[in-house]
Amino acid sequence: MGRYLLRRLLIAIPSLLGISVILFTVLALAPGDPFGELATNPAVPPEVREALRVKFGLDDPIAIRYFRWIAAMVHGDWGFSFASRIDVDTLILQRLPATLFVIGSAQLLALLIAIPVGVLAARKPYSIFDQISSTLAFVGFSLPTFFTGLLFILVFSVQLDWLPFVYRDVYETGWRWYWENFRQAIMPICVLGLFQAASMTRYVRSAVLDVIRLDYVTTARAKGLGERVVIVKHVVRNALIPVVTLVALQMPAIFGGAIVTEQIFRIPGIGSLLISAILANDTPVIMAVTFVFACLVVLFNLIADVLYGWLDPRITLG
């Protein structure tokens, strides 16, 4: 197990390097200039601008800049945000918890919906319940998150006035603080969670269908086990193995959805940080945030593979 993990980590490194090369080249080839703002500012003389460019090495060849960046990255120096005047790693660490909280809760909500519904649908395929749930699943993943977000705001904030429609700073203390934070997170979590639940329900259904007709399930029934025990202990445990992988492989899509929801609900997470950085041409922040996204995706792929081997004894790691 330990050796397998080590090997997988070593395989992940060239992928991350490849991703960073692609991202860096795109950014370096782009016509945008982080000092564009300084260029139009008459208070900054051209000599100072030139000195700054030389200091940050912006006129060196791409390859040299790449190696300088990667070396700094390894040393933990993620650069300095030109727009926010703060170190990039501090900025990202400030924003990351909000994003991870929303994504994590949304995933949890999706699993809580998808597993029961998928299992029930697969127990009686083509029944009324199955047809309704599969139609709803189609509707669910055809509704883009930006539209559901607006619909939720329209219904729950504008019409019913139950929930606040954008994030704001919470000044209450004690339990009120948790409650207010939770209240403003409800809508983004539901938007993301329902979208994920829709596609996950279909995965769970087909995974359960693959298992439920196997002989060992018939044996379990023939032994006289109750239906509940057969489903929970025999069927679901095995059916969920491929689902684990799919959940991890869905992560890039979830990050995409998170960027959209963060923008709609003005969540101070790394998705909205990325958009504001792009609009401000803040190269170090753009580079760092996209790279963090890529790292998270590679990390979750790794977790999926390791979990898969751990859950399924038929797969030997070596």
Stretch of residues binding another protein (CB under 8 A), selected from 19-27, 49-57, 107-115, 122-130: 19-27
In three-state form (DSSP H/G/I as H, E/B as E, the rest C), the secondary structure along the chain is: CHHHHHHHHHHHHHHHHHHHHHHHHHHHHCCCCCCHHHHHCCCCCHHHHHHHHHHCCCCCCHHHHHHHHHHHHHCCCCCEECCCCEEHHHHHHHHHHHHHHHHHHHHHHHHHHHHHHHHHHHHCCCCHHHHHHHHHHHHHHHCCHHHHHHHHHHHHHHHCCCCCCCCCCCCCCCHHHHHHHHHHHHHHHHHHHHHHHHHHHHHHHHHHHHHHCCHHHHHHHHCCCCHHHHHHHHHHHHHHHHHHHHHHHCHHHHHHHHHHHHHHHCCCCHHHHHHHHHHHCCHHHHHHHHHHHHHHHHHHHHHHHHHHHHHCCCCCCC
Stretch of residues binding another protein (CB under 8 A), selected from 112-120, 133-141, 226-234, 237-245: 133-141
Stretch of residues binding another protein (CB under 8 A), selected from 41-49, 140-148, 217-225, 306-314: 140-148
Residue 17 CB, nearest approach to another protein (Å) = 10
217 binds another protein per the rule CB under 8 A: no
Residue selected from 67, 138, 178, 310 as contacting another protein according to rule CB under 8 A: 138
166 binds another protein per the rule CB under 8 A: no
Closer to another protein by Cβ: residue 188 or 230: 188
Three-point CA angle 251, 254, 256, nearest 5°: 115
Residue selected from 6, 30, 51, 64 as contacting another protein according to rule CB under 8 A: 30
First-to-last C-alpha distance (Å) of the chain: 7
* Residues near another protein (CB under 8 A), total: 43
Tell me the C-alpha distance between 71 and 146, whole Å.
38
Closer to another protein by Cβ: residue 101 or 141: 141
245 binds another protein per the rule CB under 8 A: no
235 binds another protein per the rule CB under 8 A: no
Are residues 117 and 203 in contact, defined by beta-carbon separation less than 8 angstroms?
Answer: no
Stretch of residues binding another protein (CB under 8 A), selected from 76-84, 144-152, 206-214, 222-230: 144-152
144 binds another protein per the rule CB under 8 A: yes
CA dihedral 311, 312, 313, 318 (to 10 degrees): -90
Stretch of residues binding another protein (CB under 8 A), selected from 11-19, 66-74, 214-222, 238-246: 11-19
Residue 297 CB, nearest approach to another protein (Å) = 5
Tell me the C-alpha distance between 260 and 250, whole Å.
16
Closer to another protein by Cβ: residue 27 or 225: 27
Residue 296 CB, nearest approach to another protein (Å) = 8
Stretch of residues binding another protein (CB under 8 A), selected from 26-34, 51-59, 74-82, 118-126: 26-34
88 binds another protein per the rule CB under 8 A: no
Residue selected from 110, 231, 260, 267 as contacting another protein according to rule CB under 8 A: 260
Q: Rule CB under 8 A: which residues touch another protein? A: 15, 18-19, 22-23, 26-27, 30-32, 135, 138-139, 141-144, 146-147, 150-151, 153-154, 158, 252, 255-256, 259-260, 263-264, 274-275, 278-279, 286, 289-290, 293-294, 297-298, 301
